[in-house]
Amino acid sequence: MPSSPIFQGSSPGYGTGRRKSQFTYRQLGLLTSYSTSSPLRVVSHIDLDAFYAQCEMVRLGTPEDQPLAVQQWQGLIAVNYPARKFGIGRHCTVTEAKKMCPQLIAQHVATWKEGDEKWAYHEDAASHIGTHKVSLDPYRLQSRRILALIKESLPANLQKVEKASIDEVFVDLSAQIHSILLQRFPELANPPPYDDPTEKLPLPPISALDWQADALVDLDDAEAEADDPDWDDVAILIGSEIVRDIRAEVRRKIGYTCSAGIASNKMLSKLGSGHKKPNQQTVIRNRAVQHFLSDMKVTKIRNLGGKLGEQVTSVFETDSIKVLLAVPVEQMKAKLGEDTGIWLYNTIRGIDTSEVNARTQIKSMLSAKSFRPLINTMDQAVRWLRIFAADIFSRLVEEGVLENKRRPKTINLHHRHGGQTRSRQNAIPQGKILDETTLFELAKNLMNQIALEGRIWPCANLSLSVAGFEDGVTGNMGIGGFLLKGEEAKSLMSSSREASVDPHSEARPEKRRRTDNPGIQRFLARASSSSDANDGGAEEAREHQCHQTVANQPPPEHDASLQVEQDASATETKTRQLPITDYTCSRCHARLENAEAHQSHLDWHFAKDLQEEERGSSTLANRPAGPRNQKPPASTSRQATRGSGKKQSKLNFG
């Protein structure tokens, strides 16, 4: 709860001319249910500054002003603010960066060494791209600690926190603010006049608000600063106090700085957190939204950083929001489609009704490696499969597999050789304890099946994934009987993963971006197809090893216009038919008509996983956030993964 007194002065005369608030009792009440339609809503986006770099600084006890960057092979994936002063960015190589700042510490990420059972910080990792695989576990663990702390610093029954990526959260502060408002202004708890909730509230009995050191975005009308505040201003001020306290806690208890945006919705709050960095927070009052957005490029907006933003810019021949504001909604709909057009029209006006989703669920997990040099033997492949199995298993542990919370149904292996991608999928036996050895055996089995296909060496990439997570259930369908619980589970963990599970390793969150908008989800951004020549070995640091989704994500729809850029080399995906009878996709819950359609749909998912993996590898270092969760088609053709060069191929549906 905010500690400091936040209101200054008092103006019982209710401001300049207005005698009532513009907000109603009903709108105030909507805060308690986190309604996205309350104009008093307050959402914050909190983003860690130079996250991986801070993780390393905290781990190494580096002084705050010491320039430090996180290295992955010869590239940089995070740069702290002292190093940024030297002009160092993610685009730099280690050699370039050291020239720019000789005292730079370039800390290589932790890696799994081929054949090892546990990741570690290896001094010579950078020169062993062929035999090491990056581990992001240390950052996931820190992410988890920070998230836990943020949740702890909010009242347990009045919080809604969404982990948006490895280093960002959205917090809907509405309910907590409602409770604080009622404590501080008990008159708000009175029944509305005539018991009519559409009656306007009285104006706040104050005339000036103390915004402390927050970066306060100027109001649309500079003169309006003299007006008395209304309840939206008071609500957002309370929000900024709460967020300041959260940030101070994170700083004090575990040493991390973060930046935050406080506004009436997710989109604006995210823009706010990036507005002033590092270690600052920006408040965008409702009356400042227009001013805040109008000088901005449309591509800065969440979900418009990628291909959709490019499309908007090219279709309307501008990236200026100010110019786009003049485009009629009909024109946007005509050019971008109904949903996306309306979404864009609203978005550039600061309207965003997407919810903060407290519950996110992992749908699949992927562990992969692109080989350079290519690998040539089954022995080598098997050594990597062991690492993948260990990697995935430790994440499964966190998903509650051992406590029978969630368990994947399928395992899939992709193999790339000479421009061809082959894959095999198998059901994960439900009548057996799911442990690392089982995963490894399943993976080997898939590899053997692929080997029967014919020539498979040299191999350029292997990728193991598990999917089809379902909650632990009881009864006939139950898997509980086969899974261990409590102490049993712990002892299994220590025996099967002795050296491979970090005892503190609670976190497997991943950097991930997603869109909440169905129209945008339908817009499938073209992925940049990568080849072995250009991925720089950065594949492991992709931001989306775990594909997560939100509980209330709209069901996918059939969309014949969906386009996928296929990997130039992808040829064929063959999978085994799963013993499924209801033809509902376990990953996205799409309902398919028959077994054939279901199988094709699964193929599509696998192709997408692969594509995501590839996209991560080729564009990771410089790609802004864009829509990630693309809607899978209700059914796809079997040729979904057959590519013909680096062009877009349209999928045939239905």
Residue 172 CB partners (closer than 8 Å, separation 6+): 34, 41, 42, 43, 160, 161, 162, 355, 356
Provide the residue type at 190 as one letter: N
Minimum distance from residue 251 beta carbon to Ca ion (Å): 15
**Residue 603 touches Ca ion, criterion: CB under 5 A:** no
**Residue 535 touches Ca ion, criterion: CB under 5 A:** no
Minimum distance from residue 284 beta carbon to Ca ion (Å): 19
- Angle at 159 (CA atoms; ends 274, 408), nearest 5 degrees: 85
Q: In the complex with ligand DCP, which residue's Cβ is closer, 416 or 512?
A: 512
The DSSP bridge partners found for residue 24 are 200
Residue 405: contacted member of Ca ion, ligand DCP, none (CB under 5 to 8 Å, by partner type):
none
Rule CB under 6 A: which residues touch ligand DCP? Answer: 47-52, 77-78, 90, 166-167, 277-278, 511, 541, 620-621
Residue 29: contacted member of ligand DCP, Ca ion, none (CB under 5 to 8 Å, by partner type):
none
Residue 137: contacted member of Ca ion, ligand DCP, none (CB under 5 to 8 Å, by partner type):
none
* Range 37-56, binding Ca ion (CB under 5 A): 47-48, 51
Q: In the complex with Ca ion, which residue's Cβ is closer, 45 or 631?
A: 45
Provide the residue type at 327 as one letter: V
Q: In the complex with ligand DCP, which residue's Cβ is closer, 78 or 651?
A: 78
Contact call for residues 81 and 259 (beta carbons, < 8 A): no
User: How many Å apart are CA 530 and CA 513, to the nearest integer?
Assistant: 20
Minimum distance from residue 167 beta carbon to Ca ion (Å): 4
Contact call for residues 275 and 282 (beta carbons, < 8 A): yes
Minimum distance from residue 622 beta carbon to ligand DCP (Å): 7
Contact call for residues 288 and 263 (beta carbons, < 8 A): no
Residue 268: contacted member of Ca ion, ligand DCP, none (CB under 5 to 8 Å, by partner type):
none
User: How many Å apart are CA 340 and CA 329, to the nearest integer?
Assistant: 10
The DSSP bridge partners found for residue 169 are 46, 163
**Residue 167 touches Ca ion, criterion: CB under 5 A:** yes
Query: Nearest residue to ligand DCP, using CB?
Result: 78
Minimum distance from residue 535 beta carbon to ligand DCP (Å): 13
User: How many Å apart are CA 410 and CA 576, to the nearest integer?
Assistant: 11
Contact call for residues 52 and 139 (beta carbons, < 8 A): yes
Q: Is 554 left (phi over 0), alpha (psi -120 to 50) or beta?
A: beta
Residue 100: contacted member of ligand DCP, Ca ion, none (CB under 5 to 8 Å, by partner type):
none
Contact call for residues 31 and 37 (beta carbons, < 8 A): no
Q: In the complex with ligand DCP, which residue's Cβ is closer, 52 or 345?
A: 52
Q: In the complex with ligand DCP, which residue's Cβ is closer, 436 or 543?
A: 543
Q: In the complex with ligand DCP, which residue's Cβ is closer, 235 or 246?
A: 246
Residue 621: contacted member of Ca ion, ligand DCP, none (CB under 5 to 8 Å, by partner type):
ligand DCP
Q: In the complex with ligand DCP, which residue's Cβ is closer, 31 or 48?
A: 48
Helices marked H in 317-425: 321-324, 329-336, 338-347, 378-398
> What count of other Cβ atoms lies within 10 Å of the Cβ of residue 635?
25
Alpha carbon distances (Å) from 76 to 89, 105, 121, 177, 270? 8, 11, 16, 40, 24
Q: In the complex with ligand DCP, which residue's Cβ is closer, 129 or 541?
A: 541
Minimum distance from residue 613 beta carbon to Ca ion (Å): 22
Residue 511: contacted member of ligand DCP, Ca ion, none (CB under 5 to 8 Å, by partner type):
ligand DCP
Paired tokens of 22: 């513009």
Q: Considering only 73-81, 119-127, 166-174, 591-599, which stretch makes contact with Ca ion by CB under 5 A? A: 166-174
Minimum distance from residue 115 beta carbon to Ca ion (Å): 34
Minimum distance from residue 102 beta carbon to Ca ion (Å): 26
Pair type for strands 7-8 and 132-134 = unpaired
User: How many Å apart are CA 459 and CA 368, to the nearest integer?
Assistant: 13
Minimum distance from residue 213 beta carbon to ligand DCP (Å): 19
Residue 277: contacted member of Ca ion, ligand DCP, none (CB under 5 to 8 Å, by partner type):
ligand DCP
> What count of other Cβ atoms lies within 10 Å of the Cβ of residue 403?
16
Chain residues binding Ca ion by CB under 5 A are: 47-48, 51, 167
